[in-house]
Each structure stands twice: as C-alpha cells, then as structure tokens.
Amino acid sequence: MVPLIDPLLMFGALGLVACSLATLNTATRTAVPGHPLYYVERQAIYAGIGLLLAMALSRIDYSRLREYKLGLYAVMIAMNLVVYGAPAIRGAHRWIPLPFLQLQSSEFGKVLLIVSLAAFAVDRSRRLHERRTTARIMLLALLPALLVIPQPDLGTGMVYVAIGFTVLFFAGTSFKQLTGLVAMFIASVAIVLAGAPAIGVHLLKPYQVQRLTGFLDPSHDPQNQTYNITESLIAIGSGQKTGRGVNATQTKLNFLPANDTDFVFAAVGETYGFVGAAIVLSLYALLIWRALRILTMSKNLYGTLIAGGILAMLMFQVFVNVGMTIGIMPITGVPLPLLSYGGSSVIVTFIAIGLLQSIRIQARIAAAGKGRALLS
C-alpha cells in the first residue's frame, strides 16, 4: 500500500500554527477591546481553511497543472493589477476586500508563479543552456515583481525574484549564467540606492531607502527611522533563555511594532525566550528538510521545479523575516510563514504544502508502479 501524506511535513506545519496561536494569544490580547482572542480565533480559522485546501491538493496529480500554465500566469498578473482599483488600506493597494478576508493578491501570486514558471522552464528544458531562455524565465518572474513593488510590497517582489532564480538553478541553468544574474542584481541595487540618487533621480521613497539601509546602523536614529529594529532587539534580548511570559512588556505594551505580523519572531523571543525561538526555528528546519527530500524524489522535472520554488519561498521568507528582527537584514515586510498573522499568507503556505504532498504521493505511486512492473 502506497503511503499517503508526509507526516513530518504536516507535523512541522501544524507545530508552527500552534506556536503562532500561542504567541498571538499573548501578544494581541489587548489589541481588540472586549475580544482578547480575536486574532487567535481568526488565525485558527485561516489555518483550518488552509489545511483543508492542502489535503484536497494532495489528492490531485500536480502534473495536470502544467497544462494551465498560461491561464495561471494570467490570473496572477490580473490579481496583482486588480488591487490598484481597490480601496487603499493604510496607504497601500495590496488587498481585495472580501466578506471574511482581505485577500492579498501578491501572496497568492507566489504559488501561481511557482506553478506556471516551473511549467515554462520544463517546456524549454532542452534550451536551458541558451541565454535567451534564462532571460525569458527571469523576465516572467520580474514582471509580477514590478507590479507588486509599487503597491508598495517590496518584500513580495523580492520573493518573486528569488523564486525565478531558484527555478533556473534546479532546472540546470549554467553557473555562468546564474552568476551573471547575481551580478546584475547587485548592480541594480547599487544603482537604485546610490547611482540614481546621485544624479537626482529617486526611484524609491525615503522611508523605503531607510528600511533597506537602516539595519546597517540601527543606533543612528532609534527614536524614528530605526525604531522598529531597536525595539525588536530589545524584545529578543530581554527574553533570555526561557522568556518573560506574561511579563513581556515590549510585546504586551505595544512598544514592539507589528508584533503579530512582521515582528512576530521578536514576540516569540521575548515571551518564550531562546527555547521558544529554537523550537520555532527547528520546525522551519523540519519543513525545509522535508521539502528538499520531496524535491529529490519527484517523478519528473516539473515536480522538482515546483518543490524548488516552494523551497525558495519558504527559505527566503524565513531568512529575511528572522534576519530583520535580529538586525542583520533590511525591513521589507516579508511575513514569517504560518507564524505571522494573516489569512492570505497562512492559506498560501498550506497550498504550497499541499503541492509538496502531491509531489510526494505521485512519486510513491510511480515508484510502486515500477516495482509491480518489474515483478510481473
């Protein structure tokens, strides 16, 4: 009998949801007067919806999605354009208002990009040595990135670029071409942050520049520009080994900004200390390990590239989010998968996990079929 889902992958995902609910229970009890469990209850509902979608996707052969690559890519582009016609929320055009959920189109764009970009790469697998192929695939990733950055959502734009690069890497693109892409990226950053402003052209707003560079010197303006990083470092440092629990003042008294979303890891560090942070990071390590394992056992290149794209999405978000809370990465608003509060992020991460489960199940079915063929 062919085993079904990967239990360790599911354990890691559900463990992170449990950590999220425990952290939100402490960090957001006073956020909504008269409803101390507002964020906890909604996060649990989002996780439940995501889990159902993951289980449904795991029963579908992911290879069928390859046929719909053009449609899926078009849906992603359309969703990232529609938000510009929706009402702005906190000065940003990122969400499509629905009755129960503010749907963040750029989040769903991540998994749509992975599925469609992997299909495009497979179609040109025999031409991956050509620079034209590398350029086309990266342009397919850059187009949606350029749509979400002005929303503004710089963090998700960076995730899109990371997905495109990783798909090329696992598809077998030459090291020379990948090195060229990295060099072009570094040159682009230098032009945006230094070259263009030197001649009077400002491609980013002042607060965006400060977010990208403030981590280099967090003590420069701790009461204003680098306030978020300073408070995050104070919160994590005060947690020490086992955390401050109910006495986590930085989190409970709202000194720590966005303690339910961007800086939820700092809330974990203050409330549960090094032990809590280590548990969270261990669960992410488990997710990444299982994604890598599934990547290696895929029955075809399409599954390998989907798994690689999901791996890039998870690793990039974890590294950037945790890095910005401890002051080694710029603040870009990238959520921490399954830990940060937010329906779109939680549901999309579970959809990605469902795709990984589908890849594993199809690989086991294919392997079992080969075994029966050899015995017959």
Contact 166/308 with Cβ under 8 angstroms?
Answer: yes
Contact 143, 109 (CB under 8 A): no
Q: What angle do CA 9, 343, 308 make, to 5 degrees?
A: 40
Q: Are 55 and 10 in contact (CB under 8 A)?
A: no
Convert the pLDDT of each residue in 220-272 to its tens digit.
Answer: 655 556 777 888 888 888 888 888 877 777 777 777 888 888 889 999 999 99
Element (H, E) at 312: helix 301-325
- Which residue, 122, 107, 180, is CA-closest to 351? 107
Condensed to tens digits (0 to 9), the pLDDT of residues 96-145 reads: 887 777 889 999 999 999 999 999 999 987 887 788 889 999 999 999 99
DSSP state of 103: E
pLDDT at residue 281, as a whole number: 96
CB 42: neighbour CB atoms within 10 A? 17
User: What is the SS3 assignment for 60?
Assistant: coil
Query: Rounded to an integer, what distance in angstroms lies between the CA atom of residue 286 and that of residue 186?
Result: 31
**How do residues 157-188 score in pLDDT, each as one tens digit?**
999 999 999 999 999 888 888 888 889 888 88
- Give the residues across from 264 on adjacent strands: none
Q: Are 54 and 350 in contact (CB under 8 A)?
A: yes
Summary mean pLDDT of the chain: 86
Torsion of CA 356, 152, 219, 257, to 10 degrees: -70
CA distance 89 to 105: 14
Q: Which two tokens stand for residue 239?
A: 């947690």
Least confident of 45-59, 197-211, 227-241, 283-297: 197-211
Q: Which residues pair with residue 92 across a beta bridge?
A: 89
**Taking a C-beta distance cutoff of 8 angstroms, is the pair 211, 306 a contact?**
no
Angle formed by the axes of helices 131-148 and 69-82, nearest 10°: 30
Asked whether the whole model's pTM tops 0.85, one would answer: yes
Residue 165 has which token pair? 């690069």
- Strand ranges (DSSP E) for 280-356? none
Residue with tokens 């409803």: 35
Sort 330 into a burial class: Cβ within 10 Å, 0-12 / 13-18 / 19+. Answer: buried
Torsion over CA of 267, 322, 202 and 137, rounded to 10 degrees?
Answer: -140
Any idea which residue has 């989040």 for tokens?
107
The whole-number pLDDT of residue 185 equals 82
The verdict on whether omega for the bond into residue 335 sits within 30 degrees of 0, i.e. cis, is no
Q: How many residues does the chain have?
A: 376
Q: What percent of the chain has pLDDT over 90?
A: 51
Percentage of the chain lying above the pLDDT 70 cut: 90
State residue 326's pLDDT score.
Answer: 87
pLDDT the model gives residue 376? 40
Q: Terminus-to-terminus CA distance in the chain, angstroms?
A: 17
SS3 97: strand
Q: How far apart are CA 135 and CA 130, in angstroms?
A: 9
Measured CA to CA in angstroms, residue 2 lies from 58, 59, 374 at distances of: 14, 13, 17
Quick one: which of 320, 309, 262, 315 has its CA closest to 285?
315
pLDDT score at 127: 83
